[in-house]
Structure 1
Amino acid sequence: MRDTAGTADGTAFRTDVPARLDRLPWDRFHTLVCVALGVTWILDGLEVTLVGSLAPAIAASPSLQLTETQVGLTASAYLVGAVLGALGFGWLTDRLGRKKLFTLTVLVYLVATIATGLSWDFWSLAFFRFLTGAGIGGEYAAVNSAIQELIPARRRGQTDLIINGTFWAGGALGAVISLVVLSPALVDPEIGWRAAFVVGGALSFCILLLRRWIPESPRWLMTHGRPEEADRIVRDIETSVESRYGPLPPPSYGGITLHRRDHVSISEVVSVMFHRHRDRSILALTLMACQAFCYNAIFFTYALVLTRFYGVPNEHVGWYILPFAFGNLMGPLLLGHLFDSVGRRPMITATYALSGILLAVTGFAFAQGWLSAVGQTLAWTVIFFFASAAASAAYLTVGEAFPLEMRAMGIAVFYAFGTGIGGVVGPALFGWLIEGGARTDIMWGYLFGAALMLVAAGTEWRLGFAAERRPLEDVAEPVSARPR
């Protein structure tokens, strides 16, 4: 039974759109959503891995001639762009809709990535990396919100973690590409690293074609005073699913009453984040900032550690990135279902804590010179098996923590603050530490990252909330559920 009736005065209506979306069996529609929207993470992983793997070649480029510090600064420029892009595009996503913005953001990414391959000096490279980051930051807000709103509640956690984890499928692809473009026997390295960006950017055009088939989020429509459009989209999805699976089961929960409005104000966003859901805001900021520092500090300078301290040739760095990427990919794939069955709080706490402990041990072993290039790679592979699931769960937590009307903005704000605090500083700091050449100094950087992961684990255990298998509207009441 569909429940979309309005009240007599037309200011409020009751809808069962969420319950109907959550009762759907897994269908090719959901697969299309995951592929068309989730492919962004593959491209982002490709992009970031190429930058990490190609860092020595980019630094040695005759036209660029970058220092290790400048390499770190270009990574920071990317992250600054991601911060500002997330905020700007996130705000627009909540006001204009998911579909419009996840089309615009991929266009920005496409153009900026191609332009990166045409850079002529440090400043042009940094600027194009900034624009690329802006596109990706916007993608995080628009795409994460859309995916979580379209996936049934019982599969939301696992699906979100796996999609975020596919970043590392792109990472593995980037590592393979780097083996080709950095091989002097196959291609001039100066041409190779540029071609990698141009081709990678051009491939993202395929995303635009796939996304034409993704509808606007019905949940966004219903919370922006357009329940009739939301009902029509859900009805079309149901008709398609029933043609393959037969009659659908009745919804497992009832409808929700909402009040018509087109957007929430900035003052309402601030009130929800820092008054009604203050604990969730503290949790979201902590999880995002700690994982961002750990990930970006280590990964953006990974190739520099291999070449400087272990003597790995530039053209062989990709072989060491591959197992690292594999560990990151397998973490969410193998652990993701536990976030829906065992629960968010115990799993997030455990993955953050294990990552921190193992990082501290590995940092000490690095300072003592106990590790070879292979040993270092194996250690990172094990650490980031857990850290990848933890980082993906941070994005899941932020998306579930706040009302539907401000979910994209919530993702954007905490991605921006987390990345700004933990991500922008990390690459520049580690680039500076590596340039100094002292293993002990770098160890203290690793220990600091480990401490942050343990702080995040403790915060989750204290402030974490149960969201597994629950409707988004139950986890965080929509703003429009309350009269103005």
Structure 2
Amino acid sequence: MQERTAGTAKDNRGGPHVESSLIETTIPARLDRLGFGRFHVLVVTALGVTWVLDGLEVTLAGAVAGALKESPTLSLTNAEVGLASTAYLAGAVLGALLFGWLTDRQGRKRLFFITLGLYLVATASTSLAWDFSSFALFRFLTGAGIGGEYTAIASCIQEFIPARHRGFTDLVINGSFWIGAALGAAASLFLLDPTVLPPDLGWRAAFFIGAVLGLVILAMRSAVPESPRWLTIHGRPDEAHAILDAIEDEHRRRGHDLPDQELPKFRCRARRSTPLSEVFASLFVSHRKRTLVGLSLMIAQAFFYNAIFFTYALVLTDFYGIAAGQVGWYLLPFAAGNVLGPLVLGRLFDTIGRRVMIATTFALSGVLLALTGALFAAGVLSAAAQTVAWTVIFFFASAAASSAYLTVSETFPLEIRALAIAFFYAVGTAIGGVGAPWLFGVLIDTGSRLSLFGGYLLGASLMAGAALIAFRYGVDAERKPLEAVALPLSTAE
């Protein structure tokens, strides 16, 4: 099999010798022919843990809401609890944009070390907060680290996972957010118990958990290489082939068969970076329908999740009289439903297809939220029944939200993948998420079930609207190489 770069034959391992900016390579095809092996497990574990960390952070923020209000140091109001959550999301928005831009320019690997480092320092600092201002600042910086993590990690994972496994893997990784949520809920039950730790130390210890977990993952990430796809586009195909040679050798040693067949070639012109004008043209001219789909999905799921989950503890304490230290028991089944959704439904996104499954899960989530909201407003649900209803709703909503992240990370060109993820995450979170916790905090403070029901109806409407847009304009990306889903901007015709 021959492979050429600017008219020069490749070596016998597939690594081309570059003499000009024109590159012809089989890197994408070699990545997609791999079976799911030990290397992919490493990538998923070392990088996908970002969603676990985010789930941990979000759950702790919700579970300790009552403790923050009762803390003699902070003594936060419901509105301040909501504002602190908004600060976290605002940091995530700005962090995603900044680090997404840098990820496309500087590489996936460099940035996923930087963003994890920022998260570690910020979440550890949260445990030392002395008033509302310091608490909100550290939550903002923690969010910036997590937002940056999303862009660097999601782009890298997409570029490593074989096409036939991409949908299921991505949904399960996103669903692992709820493993972090379960860890946070379980930790809160222990740490917020006044017989274990004084009230003003329990919530501090809770936030320190993320820093400890992050340190372990930081060591694991040293074994994850740079994305061969990113290296190829940036004129470093020799490095890309060396990385892939090592992956394939390890794959064979573990008994995986790699068929000896002619592989399709990808031709591109190397580039150092992509100007923002080209990013804009790609998002709003060439792929404007995909942009509409991405925005509708991200805004809807961000509002849906942030409005409900960030204030779930307040609903339990204010409307059902649940003690702050017992909130974790109600979060555990809720988290379980969210984990099971992507696990059970994920394969269908690769078989039935993206458009049908995305539209179905978004629509079901909206309908079920409206029905549950009506029962809540009527006052016929107990705390346990409310939790069962949320668990069922978020079984579907978790798969829906995960598919939104999958959509925006696989349907745009490689050169702008990280920045595209950052754009959709930032806009979706800014419009659908940043104000949602504050809005629902205000609605809860009214003490009116009917007012809160109005907020639930707004969330349900957004999910239903997103379902219609996805079904009409969504992309059938299942089992297709990334380069077939979205032609890279550097492609040489």
Q: Displacement, 1:223?
A: 1.1
Partners of 2:262 and 2:433 lie apart in 1 by 41
Distance 1:286 1:397, change over 3 A: same
Letter in 2 for 1:257: R
Give the counterpart of 1:370 among 380, 390, 398.
380
Q: Displacement, 1:182?
A: 1.2
Partners of 2:261 and 2:437 lie apart in 1 by 48
Q: Displacement, 1:110?
A: 0.4
Q: Where does residue 168 of structure 2 map in the other structure?
A: 158
Give the counterpart of 2:358 among 348, 364, 382.
348
Letter in 1 for 2:386: Q
Partner deviation per Cα, 1:121-180 (whole Å, 9 max, x = no partner): 111010000000000000110000000100000000000000010000110111100000
Letter in 1 for 2:360: A
Contact 2:56 2:177 in 1 (8 A): yes
Q: Do structure 1's residue 111 and structure 2's residue 109 form an aligned pair?
A: no
Contact 2:31 2:161 in 1 (8 A): yes
Q: Displacement, 1:253?
A: 4.8
Contact 2:35 2:256 in 1 (8 A): no
Q: Displacement, 1:11?
A: 2.6
Q: Where does residue 249 of structure 1 map in the other structure?
A: 259
Q: Where does residue 94 of structure 2 map in the other structure?
A: 84
Contact 2:90 2:434 in 1 (8 A): yes
Kindly report which structure 2 residues correspond to 1:49-128, keeping only aligned pairs within 5 A, or say none. Answer: 49-128=59-138
Partners of 1:146 and 1:97 lie apart in 2 by 9
Contact 1:218 1:230 in 2 (8 A): yes
Kindly report which structure 2 residues correspond to 1:32-431, keeping only aligned pairs within 5 A, or say none. Answer: 32-245=42-255, 247-250=257-260, 253-431=263-441
Q: Where does residue 12 of structure 2 map in the other structure?
A: none
Q: Displacement, 1:246?
A: 5.4
Partner deviation per Cα, 1:280-314 (whole Å, 9 max, x = no partner): 00110110000000000000000000000000011
Partner deviation per Cα, 1:91-127 (whole Å, 9 max, x = no partner): 0000000000000000000000000110011110100
Partners of 1:126 and 1:358 lie apart in 2 by 33
Distance 1:80 1:2, change over 3 A: farther
Q: Secondary structure at the match of 1:289?
A: helix
Contact 2:30 2:263 in 1 (8 A): no
Distance 1:377 1:23, change over 3 A: same
Q: Where does residue 11 of structure 2 map in the other structure?
A: none
Partner deviation per Cα, 1:212-238 (whole Å, 9 max, x = no partner): 000000011111121111111111111
Q: Displacement, 1:63?
A: 1.0
Contact 1:325 1:381 in 2 (8 A): yes
Give the counterpart of 2:465 among 455, 469, 477.
455
Q: Where does residue 6 of structure 2 map in the other structure?
A: 6
Q: Secondary structure at the match of 2:254?
A: helix
Gapped regions of structure 1 (runs ≥ 5): none
Partner deviation per Cα, 1:244-289 (whole Å, 9 max, x = no partner): 2255114575011101211111000001000000000011011000
Partners of 1:376 and 1:198 lie apart in 2 by 30
Q: Secondary structure at the match of 1:481?
A: coil
Give the counterpart of 1:30 among 31, 37, 40.
40
Q: Displacement, 1:32?
A: 0.3
Q: Secondary structure at the match of 2:268?
A: strand
Partners of 1:396 and 1:104 lie apart in 2 by 23
Q: Displacement, 1:186?
A: 1.7
Partner deviation per Cα, 1:379-406 (whole Å, 9 max, x = no partner): 0000000000000000000001110011
TM-score by length of 1: 0.98
Partner deviation per Cα, 1:399-437 (whole Å, 9 max, x = no partner): 011100110000000000000000001100000110111
Distance 1:195 1:2, change over 3 A: farther
Q: Displacement, 1:200?
A: 2.4
| Residue-pair matches, total | 483
Contact 1:161 1:336 in 2 (8 A): yes
Partners of 1:388 and 1:432 lie apart in 2 by 25
Contact 1:4 1:16 in 2 (8 A): no
CA RMSD in angstroms comes to 1.2
Partners of 1:442 and 1:198 lie apart in 2 by 33
Letter in 2 for 1:3: E
Distance 1:5 1:245, change over 3 A: farther
Q: Displacement, 1:5?
A: 2.6
Contact 1:81 1:130 in 2 (8 A): yes
Q: Displacement, 1:202?
A: 2.3
Q: Where does residue 15 of structure 2 map in the other structure?
A: none
Q: Displacement, 1:4?
A: 4.7
Q: Displacement, 1:199?
A: 2.9
Partner deviation per Cα, 1:445-476 (whole Å, 9 max, x = no partner): 00000000000100101110110000000000
Letter in 2 for 1:82: A
Contact 1:22 1:471 in 2 (8 A): yes
Contact 1:145 1:407 in 2 (8 A): yes
Partners of 1:427 and 1:79 lie apart in 2 by 10
Q: Displacement, 1:326?
A: 0.3
Gapped regions of structure 2 (runs ≥ 5): 9-18
Distance 1:388 1:252, change over 3 A: farther
Which deviates more from structure 2 when the two are superposed, residues 41-50 or residues 437-446? 41-50
Which deviates more from structure 2 when the two are superposed, residues 221-230 or residues 309-318? 221-230
Contact 1:23 1:251 in 2 (8 A): no
Partner deviation per Cα, 1:8-28 (whole Å, 9 max, x = no partner): 772312110000010011110
Distance 1:246 1:360, change over 3 A: closer
